[in-house]
């Protein structure tokens, strides 16, 4: 069926509808709505094929930390393509970009780490870490210690293993995941999860108690690891209550359960520290990173393991004869070279100081402009990651009926006002702009979002979806 106007027969939009299967898209609706076709980018902005300009409020998918036109990253890729466009890491083969990048990550790790394994995405990295945890316990003679704990609203990817670990219903429904052996504990979101009169410390204690109960109910001898994001990104930019991670880690240590920290979104200054782990006092056994590792210019991810984990992997690989896991593109020299240049740029730009100045400005302006808005229940965030949650009732923290698609409507209005926005579960508008964003660009971004929110308010009042006071 030919697409309706305004798509011309040979337009990019029409050809997209005819040929592309999009991730995270209503595929039926896409037949008539069609795509926004992005044609170029510069700094924190992108332009569609019609020439319309947008501020990218989420750096693409939380990832284009250095914006959309960094020439040094382009040249790093070109130079490496000419020198060695591909080589693999199988059977003890290596090359300098992979070695250099591993060394740089070990040097920058938040806690002592031993080795780095490379993959191509956060999903693959988390899936690899799942397999490492299982492999480790076989090496240690603990064949029943294999269950893995994630958190409700946690996000760790979309491969079969990582999707099982993810705690979002939309990633499970109709895909026949999670697989057996994947468990989920309480979301550490004080705004929605706290009981009447409960303090943050008491809520954090209850989260730890529920984790301990889950481990005891399953049997500590069967529970291998827990996964956690320092700040839960795709679940709605959820910050843990004060004291949460020390309490959680005490439980994990008590029952010999590894902690795998997913830094795919939080790593590389996003939260205001180099790693989200440092802002939350987390000591990972395994750390997974991706996205800003190359500023998303080329696909690459990494799994860092501590000495205890590596020793077990080495022991079992010697017994088996090989560590039978890896990808054709693990440590690919071109993405590795781009990642090396990315890390150098973060250092040279003193990115921590920049985020330390612009991040608080974004956080304070979000709260000043929208904190008392009748549709906004909570503004939350740290560094250059934040969220604004829309609610039907501020007093009771009640969300809108999902059928109203309030968050989706706000995202569309943001696009009309020149902002590429991302909304997630419970009508949460997320902010994770390129780290290079300036205070003036933050103000311009929030001005545009404010116009979109005002337009949404008028629409909802007219439709009597919400009584706006």
Separation of alpha carbons 336 and 226, rounded Å: 28
Is there a domain that residue 302 lies in? yes
Q: Angle 248-253-257 (CA atoms, 0-180°, nearest 5)?
A: 90
**Are residues 270 and 157 part of one domain?**
yes
Give per-residue pLDDT as tens, 181-232.
999 999 999 999 999 999 999 999 999 999 999 999 999 999 999 999 999 9
**Are residues 239 and 191 part of one domain?**
yes
pLDDT band at 5 (very low <50, low <70, confident <90, very high): very low
329 pLDDT exceeds 80?
yes
Name 99's Cβ contacts closer than 8 Å, sequence gap at least 6.
none
Q: What is the mean pLDDT of residues 300-315?
A: 98
301-318 residues labelled b (16+ CB within 10 A) or e (exposed): bbbbbbeebbebbeebee
| Confidence (pTM) | 0.96
Separation of alpha carbons 282 and 238, rounded Å: 16
- Which SS3 state, helix, strand or coil, does residue 287 take? strand
Separation of alpha carbons 286 and 111, rounded Å: 10
**Are residues 232 and 101 part of one domain?**
yes
Q: Which one, of 273, 261, 252, lies nearest residue 122 by Cα?
A: 261
Is there a domain that residue 15 lies in? no
Give me the chain's average pLDDT, please: 96
Single residue among 316, 348, 380 that ends a domain in this structure: 348
**Are residues 367 and 273 part of one domain?**
no
pLDDT band at 7 (very low <50, low <70, confident <90, very high): low
Longest dimension (CA), the chain: 69
Is there a domain that residue 46 lies in? yes
Question: Which pLDDT value is given to residue 240?
Answer: 98
Is there a domain that residue 42 lies in? yes
**Are residues 231 and 106 part of one domain?**
yes
Is there a domain that residue 360 lies in? yes
Give per-residue pLDDT as tens, 69-90.
999 999 999 999 999 999 999 9
**Are residues 94 and 55 part of one domain?**
no
User: What CATH number should be reported for the domain holding residue 137?
Assistant: 3.40.640.10
Give per-residue pLDDT as tens, 452-469.
999 999 999 999 886 544
Question: Which pLDDT value is given to residue 30?
Answer: 96
Is there a domain that residue 83 lies in? yes
Give per-residue pLDDT as tens, 413-449.
999 999 999 999 899 999 999 999 999 999 999 999 9
Question: 229 exposed, middle or buried (CB, 10 Å; 0-12, 13-18, 19+)?
Answer: buried
Give per-residue pLDDT as tens, 257-291.
999 999 999 999 999 999 999 999 999 999 999 99
Q: What is the mean pLDDT of residues 323-343?
A: 98
Q: What is the mean pLDDT of residues 247-251?
A: 98
Single residue among 348, 370, 399 that ends a domain in this structure: 348
**Are residues 343 and 237 part of one domain?**
yes
| Token pair for 301 | 């991810």
Neighbours of 23 (CB within 10 A): 6
Is there a domain that residue 321 lies in? yes
**Are residues 179 and 44 part of one domain?**
no
**Are residues 106 and 47 part of one domain?**
no
Residues 102 and 117: beta-carbon distance below 8 Å:
no
Residue span of the structural domain in which 334 resides: 72-348
Question: 351 exposed, middle or buried (CB, 10 Å; 0-12, 13-18, 19+)?
Answer: buried
Question: Which pLDDT value is given to residue 10?
Answer: 84
Single residue among 324, 348, 372 that ends a domain in this structure: 348
User: What CATH number should be reported for the domain holding residue 65?
Assistant: 3.90.1150.10
120 pLDDT exceeds 60?
yes
Total domain count, the chain: 2
Q: Which one, of 432, 457, 455, lies nearest residue 445 by Cα?
A: 432
- Which SS3 state, helix, strand or coil, does residue 289 take? strand
**Are residues 239 and 110 part of one domain?**
yes
**Are residues 170 and 298 part of one domain?**
yes
The string of DSSP letters for 185-221 reads E----HHHHPPTT--HHHHHHHHHHHHHHHHHHH-GG
- The span from the first CA to the last CA of the chain, in angstroms, equals 46
Give per-residue pLDDT as tens, 55-74.
999 999 999 999 999 999 99
Question: Which pLDDT value is given to residue 466?
Answer: 65
Is there a domain that residue 76 lies in? yes
Give per-residue pLDDT as tens, 9-35.
789 999 999 999 999 999 999 999 999
pLDDT band at 6 (very low <50, low <70, confident <90, very high): low
Question: Which pLDDT value is given to residue 465?
Answer: 85
pLDDT band at 1 (very low <50, low <70, confident <90, very high): very low
Helix-strand-coil split of the chain, %, nearest 5 = 45, 15, 40
**Are residues 344 and 355 part of one domain?**
no
């Amino acid at each position: 069926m030919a697409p309706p106007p305004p798509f011309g027969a040979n337009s990019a939009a029409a050809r997209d509808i005819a040929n592309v299967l999009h991730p995270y898209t209503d595929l039926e609706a896409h037949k008539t709505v069609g795509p926004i076709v992005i044609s170029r980018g510069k700094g924190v902005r992108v332009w569609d094929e019609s020439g319309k300009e947008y501020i990218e409020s989420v750096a693409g998918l939380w990832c284009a930390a250095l914006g959309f036109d960094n020439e040094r990253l382009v040249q790093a890729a070109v130079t490496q393509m000419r020198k060695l466009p591909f080589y693999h890491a199988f059977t003890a083969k290596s090359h300098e970009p992979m070695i250099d990048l591993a060394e740089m990550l070990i040097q920058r790790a938040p806690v002592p780490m031993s080795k780095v394994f490379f993959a191509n995405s956060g999903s693959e990295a988390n899936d690899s870490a799942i397999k490492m945890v299982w492999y480790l316990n076989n090496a240690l003679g603990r064949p029943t210690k294999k269950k893995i704990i994630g958190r409700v609203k946690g996000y760790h990817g979309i491969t079969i293993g990582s999707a099982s670990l993810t705690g979002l219903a939309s990633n499970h429904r109709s895909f026949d995941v999670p697989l057996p052996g994947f468990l989920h504990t309480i979301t550490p979101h004080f705004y929605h999860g706290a009981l009447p009169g409960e303090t943050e410390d008491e809520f954090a204690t209850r989260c730890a108690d529920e984790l301990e109960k889950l481990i005891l109910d399953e049997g500590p001898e069967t529970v291998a690891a827990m996964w956690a994001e320092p700040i839960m990104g795709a679940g709605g930019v959820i910050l843990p209550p004060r004291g949460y991670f020390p309490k959680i880690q005490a439980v994990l240590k008590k029952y010999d359960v590894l902690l795998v920290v997913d830094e795919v979104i939080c790593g590389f200054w996003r939260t205001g520290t180099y790693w989200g782990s440092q802002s939350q006092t987390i000591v990972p056994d395994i750390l997974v990173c991706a996205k800003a590792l190359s500023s998303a210019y080329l696909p690459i991810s990494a799994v860092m393991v501590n000495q205890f984990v590596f020793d077990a992997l080495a022991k079992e690989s010697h017994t088996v004869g090989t560590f039978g896991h890896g990808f054709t593109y693990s440590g690919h020299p071109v993405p590795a070279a781009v990642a090396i240049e990315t890390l150098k740029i973060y250092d040279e730009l003193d990115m921590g100081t920049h985020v330390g100045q612009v991040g608080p400005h974004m956080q304070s302006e979000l709260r000043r402009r929208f904190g008392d808005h009748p549709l906004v229940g909570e503004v939350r965030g740290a560094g250059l990651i934040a969220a604004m949650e829309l609610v039907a009732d501020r007093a009771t923290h009640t969300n809108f009926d999902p059928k109203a698609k309030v968050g989706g409507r706000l995202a569309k209005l943001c696009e009309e006002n020149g902002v590429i926005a991302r909304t997630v579960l419970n009508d949460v508008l997320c902010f994770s702009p390129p780290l290079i964003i300036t205070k003036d660009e933050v103000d311009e971004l929030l001005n545009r979002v404010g116009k979109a929110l005002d337009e949404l308010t008028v629409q909802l009042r007219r439709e009597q979806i919400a009584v706006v006071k």
